[in-house]
Amino acid sequence: MLILGIETSCDETSASLVKDGREILSSVILSQDALHRNFGGVVPEIASRAHLESIIGVIDNALTGAKMQLPEIDAIAVAHTPGLIGALLIGVTAAKTLCMVLNKPFIAVDHLHAHIYANNLEHDDIPYPAVSLVVSGGHTTLFLSESETKHVPLGWTIDDAAGEAFDKVSKILGLGYPGGPIIDKLARRGNHHAVTFPRAYLEKDSLDFSFSGLKTAVLYHCRGQDSQKTDTKAPFDQKAADIAASFQEAVVDVLVDKTTLAAKMYNVRGILTGGGVAANSRLRQRLKDASKELSIPVYCPAIRLCTDNAAMVAGLAYKKYLPGDIAGLDIEVIP
């Protein structure tokens, strides 16, 4: 069974051909990073226009890469929620149009569930129930995953997403966009004990997140009264590396502690991660440590499958197609 997946929820235009929910025949990801870099974040209107300009070429390249033609495809899948409304609309409209013209089944996929499915593209022995942590530029959500397709939300961010905090801190430090990979790299040279930034755990046993206070604390530390506390004799590069490492440690502490808490509360058999921030090397290391402590496996997708991609969409779509979960062409996008 061959599925064409399409993903345009944020700032990557992606199309992929996946066989039987597992074998990636092609995966084309066109990043818009260069278009948004000057703004330090994704500009929704620019994202929608860029998707519109490139979607047909990206689908074409995915077909060519897999040496396939449109009539050979069995179904078409697209992420229809959540994301930027104008961006989602481009992918959904392209998918619906292809389904209508080719008379193929249309499968609508939740973008966050697809991030979790990125693990299933590489492993077929994932134990359920599992706790899944989706951490991206737009979302920070913990799910109780009962199967590859059934995910019950347990908690989410009440303000900024973790990836958004990485991007904003990078901007405060005068570094580039997207901030996550830059901070990750810089933090390796820094001391994570250098600055004590706040960790927001919210009320006891809460599985919700909050990162806006941490972002503000970094801003005050760099520009405000608190800036005196940094070792003024250290060269700028080292100061920035120490701030990056200390900030990253604060984010990772909260992510790992809440994921571990959820795993214990729901007595799960495994932990899954997904989304751009799941590419973070410190988070991956700390989750590995947590895996040993809890004696359950922790899965992190390959780096190229952490950030937005259509292979995870096409993969999950196969698992929805099997029990007949086909969408009508009147389905809406939900931001």
The least CB distance from residue 42 to ligand KG4, in Å, is 8
User: Are residues 148 and 114 in contact, defined by beta-carbon separation less than 8 angstroms?
Assistant: no
Task: Tell me: does residue 308 bind Zn ion (CB under 5 A).
Answer: yes
Among 48, 136, 140, 141, binds Zn ion (CB under 5 A): 136
| Residue 275 in the binding site for ligand KG4 (CB under 6 A) | yes
* Backbone torsion region of residue 57, taken as left when φ is above 0, otherwise alpha when ψ lies between -120 and 50, otherwise beta: alpha
What strands lie across the sheet with 12-19, from one edge to the other? 23-31, 12-19, 2-7, 75-81, 106-110
Residue in 106, 108, 104, 107 with CA at minimum distance from that of residue 74: 104
For the CB of residue 82, give the shortest distance to ligand KG4 in the complex, in Å: 9
Q: Is 78 in the site for ligand KG4 (CB under 6 A)?
A: no
Residues in the chain: 335
Q: Total residues at the site for Zn ion (CB under 5 A)? A: 2
Give the SS3 label for residue 66: coil
What does residue 156 show for φ and ψ, rounded to 5 degrees? -155, 175
Interaction of residue 208 with Zn ion, rule CB under 5 A: no
Output the smallest distance, CB 308 to ligand KG4, in A. 4
Q: Which of 178, 270, 301, 315 binds ligand KG4 (CB under 6 A)?
A: 178
Tokens of 268: 């799960």
Nearer to ligand KG4, 166 or 318 (CB): 166
User: Burial, 223: exposed, middle or buried (Cβ in 10 Å; 0-12, 13-18, 19+)?
Assistant: exposed
Selected from 277, 287, 305, 316, the binder of ligand KG4 by CB under 6 A is 277
Q: Determine which residue in the list 179, 190, 270, 301 makes contact with ligand KG4, applying CB under 6 A.
A: 179
Contact residues: ligand KG4, CB under 6 A: 10, 136-138, 163, 166-167, 178-181, 184, 275-277, 279-280, 307-308
